[in-house]
Structures are given as C-alpha cells and as structure tokens.
Structure 1
Amino acid sequence: MAAGLKRYEAEHDWLTTVRLPAYAPDLNSVEAVWSLVRGPMANTAFDTPDDLDHTLRRELRRIQLRPRLIDGCLAATGLAVNPPTPP
C-alpha cells in the first residue's frame, strides 16, 4: 500500500480497511455483474459501437431495476455487505 494511503488510514480511526488478494475475482462483485450482462450479449455481432453501447446500457439498466440481482452479486462474494458498527 502506498505511504500516503497508509498515513490516511492511520489518521482516520473511523476507516476500516480490508486487504484483499491482488487477484481475487471470486471476491469482486463486479465479476458477477459482468456475468449477468455478458450472457445476453454473448455471440452477438454488433453493427456499430452505438449498437454495443445501447445493448450494454439496456442490460445494466435491467440489473439496476432488480436490486435482488445486485444483492446476489454482493452475497456471492461471501463478504459482509454491511460494515461492522464501531464499539
């Protein structure tokens, strides 16, 4: 961790830092979101970059409108979604 970040962490006792491995896709909820987006877009040849953009935005919006999907992506990591309350 960079010295500046270590100093910031030390100066802010309310901040909880969780150190994760450098490569841990199973702990990254974005990987689960990407798998939800990637499925409907698989094996698709887009005519233009705008077609790709439109489809990607549509799929992200579909996920956004279903909070349980997002909750599932977070739960799949096994990490605590709610930060611990300080003593």
Structure 2
Amino acid sequence: MWRTRLHRRRKGERGSFSEDDYIAFLDQAHQRLQAPIVLIWDNLNTHVSHRMHALIDARPWLTVVRLPSYAPDLTPAGGAWRWMKRGLTNIAAHGVGHLADLVRHRLRACQQQTDILARFFADTGMTLDPELP
C-alpha cells in the first residue's frame, strides 16, 4: 500500500517523514479502507506543527487523539522496563558484559511468562483481544 522513501543520510537529505509524507500515507490509507481513521499520536514535531494542524483540519474523516507529552503508563513497554529494573535492583554487576548477561536472562524469563506480558497490556487498559473495546 505505502512505500517508504529510503533515506541514506546524505548531506541535506531529510532523515524522517515530513508532514506531506504523513498526509500522503493517511490519504492512501483512507482511500483503501473507505472508512474514517482515528489516529493516536505522540508529540513529535511534525505531528504538532501548524501545517499539520491545517492538513488534519482539512480532512473530516480523520480524528487525531494526542497522547500526553510523557505517558509511560499508556505503553506496555513502560511496564516491561519497570519489571526489568525491579529484577536488577540490589545486584552488583562485575562489568558491562555481566550486566548484559543479566539483562538477557531477565528478558528471556519475560518472554517465557506470557502472563507477565499480558499484565503489561492490562496495566495500560488495553486488551490483546481485537474484538473487545
């Protein structure tokens, strides 16, 4: 549906999406879906620019919900990091390699405990079941 531009970080070349790139993507998604779109956005500079506000206002089928500036409780990754840090407290690592091993071990433990992963989502109020609101 959408092909991203390859950015090679050449001098003077933009390294991220512009307002035009985002709007072109949303316009194509709307055409393909033939339905209104609700977009949940953070406060990236291109998401909150005056130009982007005007582009959004010109599309009645597009609803944008903005996340607060800092909202770790709204992302499952916030719970994962809290869990990770709790498991590493009161441990004296013998160096960077030892610390990396401890983190890898903790991440493997997390992957094998699906109830923990589900809790990270539940803590945000989100559900893993696409049928539920």
Q: TM-score normalised to the size of structure 1?
A: 0.79
Task: Give the aligned partner of residue 18 of structure 1.
Answer: 40
Spell out structure 1 runs of 4+ moving beyond 4 A.
none
Amino acid of the structure 2 residue aligned with 1:10: D
Q: Greater CA deviation, 27-36 or 10-19? A: 10-19
Higher helix fraction: Structure 1 or Structure 2?
1
Residues 1:9 and 1:21: Cα distance change in structure 2 (over 3 Å): farther
What is the CA–CA distance in structure 1 between the aligned matches of 2:68 and 2:27, rounded to whole Å?
21
Which sections of structure 2, spanning at least 5 residues, go unmatched?
Answer: 1-16, 42-66
Residue by residue over 1:8-63, the C-alpha shift from the partner in whole angstroms, topping out at 9 and shown as x without a partner, is: 12211347632322311110111111111111211222111110110001001001
1:73 offset after TM fit, Å?
0.1
Name which one, 1 or 2, has greater alpha-carbon Rg: 2
1:7 offset after TM fit, Å?
2.1
| 2:79 paired with 1:32 | yes
Higher RCO structure, 1 or 2 (CA under 8 Å, sep 6+): 1
Secondary structure class of the residue paired with 1:18? strand
Aligned length: 84
Q: Greater CA deviation, 9-18 or 40-49? A: 9-18
Match 1:56 to one of 90, 103, 121: 103
What do you get for the CA RMSD once the two structures are aligned? 2.3
